[in-house]
Amino acid sequence: MEARKVSRWYFGGVASCGAACCTHPLDLIKVHLQTQQEVRMRMMGMMVHVVQREGVLALYSGLSASLCRQMSYSLTRFAIYETVRDMMGGAGQGPMPFYQKVLLGAFGGFTGGFIGTPADMVNVRMQNDVKLPPQLRRNYAHALDGMFRVWREEGMRKLFSGATMASSRGALVTVGQLSCYDQAKQLVMGTGVMSDNILTHFLASFIAGGCATFLCQPLDVMKTRLMNSKGEYVGVIHCLTDTAKLGPMAFYKGLVPAGIRLVPHTVLTFIFLEQLRKYFGIMVMT
């Protein structure tokens, strides 16, 4: 029998919130770049434009919605993935095969993406508000105010606008992050050169962040456009064809800032998660 520590079910949500607090400005710039109809600004230009126009604090517009999203979307996908993985790993069968990790990650991410759609939509709107003229801004006070106003003014169905894209993106990004992180960590430690330490966590999460960025960027662009729309799209297919008119690279608009945001977010999330597991995890016997 060997003792090991496993995460509590909510550690993924807490770790994701910590990472979101650090990377939120990059997420905001990514949303601004993706919602441009024409490519007018690059990443640094957009960041300077936002700061000059609204001040430094504008880079944290929508932070409450981002944290709300992490505590719904990320908490759900981590809870499903890690609970099932630890249960199967505790049965004396050794690590799960990679294809099982992929299937489990896709299921957990799809479920989390659907549950987190309302907070995600409000997050996109609050981030995009700062670049709109004052008369067109929605001016949500915080995430809960935004969700309540959407429900009251636009109906419950609007709260789940873009749910298909959000759920599909959640599945892909969870496969890229959680499944690839576990596999990369397993392979790195299997070499015998590195142990279960913070350097291993950094390397494995860096690889996972790159995989997640590549997999989910097209769906991320579609999701952002659907959630930020004011009725100009009648559905996913309409949004797809409208985006395709801008050329194939329109689906990878904001790829660099998406990677610059998602890779550090992935690295920070897993470093925080591993530290939470190390100091506050549950001891189990395998």
Give the ranges where 55-197 is alpha helix by DSSP (H): 63-69, 75-89, 98-115, 117-129, 143-154, 156-159, 163-174, 180-190
- Please determine, for residue 279, whether its predicted confidence score (pLDDT) is greater than 70: yes
User: pTM for the whole thing?
Assistant: 0.82
pLDDT, average across residues 59-81: 91
Coil/strand/helix, residue 282: strand
Residues 6+ apart with CB under 8 A from 275: none
Q: How far apart are CA 237 and CA 53, in angstroms?
A: 35
- Please determine, for residue 89, whether its predicted confidence score (pLDDT) is greater than 80: no
pLDDT in tens, 218-267: 877 877 777 677 777 777 788 888 888 888 778 877 677 678 878 999 99
pLDDT at 135: 81
| Domains recognised in the chain with CATH numbers | 3-280 (1.50.40.10)
pLDDT in tens, 170-204: 999 999 999 999 999 999 998 888 888 999 999 99
Q: How far apart are CA 82 and CA 245, in angstroms?
A: 40
pLDDT higher for 3 or 29? Answer: 29
- Please determine, for residue 92, whether its predicted confidence score (pLDDT) is greater than 60: no
Which of 20-29, 104-113, 157-166, 218-227 ranks highest by mean pLDDT?
Answer: 104-113
Smallest Cα–Cα separation from 222: which of 208, 213, 235? Answer: 235
pLDDT in tens, 197-210: 999 999 999 999 99
pLDDT at 217: 82
Quick check: 265 and 23 in contact, CB under 8 A?
yes
- Please determine, for residue 272, whether its predicted confidence score (pLDDT) is greater than 90: yes
- Please determine, for residue 71, whether its predicted confidence score (pLDDT) is greater than 70: yes
Dihedral sign computed on CA atoms, order 14, 18, 23, 24: positive
Coil/strand/helix, residue 126: helix
Other Cβ atoms within 10 Å of 107 Cβ, number: 17
